[in-house]
Chains A and B, each alone.
Chain A
Amino acid sequence: MIRCNVAVTGLNAADDPAPGIAVIRSIRDSGQWEGKIIGLAYDALDTGIYDDSLADEVYLIPYPFDSVGLLERLKQISRKTKIDVLMPLLDMELLNLPGLVPWLEELGINSLLPTMSRVRLQLKLNLAEFCLKSDIRYPKQIAINSPTMIAITIKTLGLPVVVKGIIHGAHLASTVEEASAHFNAIQKRWGLPVILQEYIEGEEYNTDCLTDRNGEIVGAVSMRKLGITDRGKAWSGVTVKDEGLLKLSEDILHKVNWVGPVELEFVKQRRSDSYYLLEINPRFGTWIFLTAHAGQNLPLAAIRVAMGEKLGRLPPYQAGVMFVRHSRDVICPVDCLASLTMSGELALNEIKKGVKEPCLT
């Protein structure tokens, strides 16, 4: 049993879900943890805030690019509730938080994060070069700064082509026109350059892993995507035991010298049966809850390592365990939204206890 308060981000599970909810459920379902879950949200409408089975308390925080504002807010929160472990679960947070570790430690907040140089390496712009140098199969890609470059780039990469943002987002385009539309949408949200990547036809697999502070593998679970949304997100999947894929994943992480949670995305090319690395995500995947029920509770292990425990390798997981994601409506009093927007914090269960009806009769 481990006792600690865990702060978790990534609470939004709308059409592009973040992993926060899956991480909280993994921790709570473990039966080996006691403490509070502290939800940290950027938007008062992040869906996970309003599910009373998840966070004990929720606080709105500024975006991580505002380092001073974020640290000040964490200081305020720490005065109310002790945070023992901070688990960031959004890609953009990892671009800044590793640099704040000394200040987090001053607040008594433990974390398990890769160094900034490792985070930069996994960025989509740098990953292609790293893979080339490290003899890892990676689709050809070209970064462009103008939509006028789309047609000529597609002549090199062929169709269909994957249009990707430098931080997040990927869309498949079957025509130049579709690629242009995706280019504009991605540019608006994630800025320039936009990446055009060769499409590799095949089955998609992910491996979620945890490495300790020395970069040693604590656990790794591979999953084949069964159902995929039009945004490329796995909506159902099944654990597989492909030793070759697990070894490839471990080799990549050793080459990167990664520390902490990480998700590797692969496609197994139908033509050659070879795995191509598509992405390294610097956090757990949204399907991480599956790992907990397949025999390797990676979020719980991450907390233990962050709290200073030395963990050996987790026991093997079970192949053939499946997840299906589904959404359902959560009902709560409007006071919850009022609390968050007015004071920036919410203790959902306390509000629910004090309010009988959420609406006028």
Chain B
Amino acid sequence: MLTVSKNIYVNDNGFVFNFYTGLTYGLNQTGTFILKRLQERAPVPEIARGLEDAYGIGRKTVASDVDEFLQQLASLNLISRDGVLPNDSV
């Protein structure tokens, strides 16, 4: 189950702040869209379809790019793919 950290703040311009670590990140428009939709608990296939429609990109490419982005988010503990996030307390 994919879980987004409760510890993060994301604004519309792609600024991400982790309340737990104090670290900040910058996302592009697409990354911001994906993370915000994840926060809204949108399923990944639905997010991917939204990107396909918005950018007119093929399904395979979008699926691969989204997956790579989710891996990056997971490596930063901003999301978890197994539902477990360390110190997700705020």
Contacts and interface: CB of A to CB of B under 8 A. Distances in A.
A is bound by B: yes
A319 B19 contact: yes
Given A238-B22, A319-B19, A243 B9 contact: no
Nearest to A222: B22
B90 A241 contact: yes
Given A320-B9, A320-B17, A224 B87 contact: no
A203 B23 CA distance: 9
Contact of B22 (A224, A243, A244): A224
Nearest to A204: B22
B89 interface: yes
Contacts of B19: 240-241, 319-320
Interface in A234-285: 237-244, 268
Contacts of B23: 203, 224
B87 to A, nearest CB: 6
Contacts of B22: 203, 205, 223-224, 226, 237-240
Contacts of A205: 22
Interface in A317-331: 319-320
Main secondary structure on A side of the interface with B:
strand
A205 B21 CA distance: 9
A244 B17 contact: no
**What is the size category of the interface that chain A forms with chain B?**
10 to 19
A242 B87 CA distance: 7
B87 A244 contact: yes
A238 B7 CA distance: 14
Given A241-B90, A243-B89, A203 B21 contact: yes
A238 B9 CA distance: 14
A238 B22 CA distance: 7
Contacts of A268: 21
Among B21, B23, B87, B89, which residue has the most Cβ atoms of chain A within 10 A?
B21
A319 B8 CA distance: 11
A158 B90 CA distance: 38
B3 to A, nearest CB: 18
Nearest to B20: A242
A236 to B, nearest CB: 11
Interface of A: 203, 205, 223-224, 226, 237-244, 268, 319-320
3 closest A-B pairs by beta carbon, nearest first, are: A224-B22, A319-B19, A240-B22
12 contacts: A203-B22, A205-B22, A223-B22, A224-B21, A238-B17, A239-B22, A240-B22, A241-B7, A241-B90, A319-B20, A320-B9, A320-B17
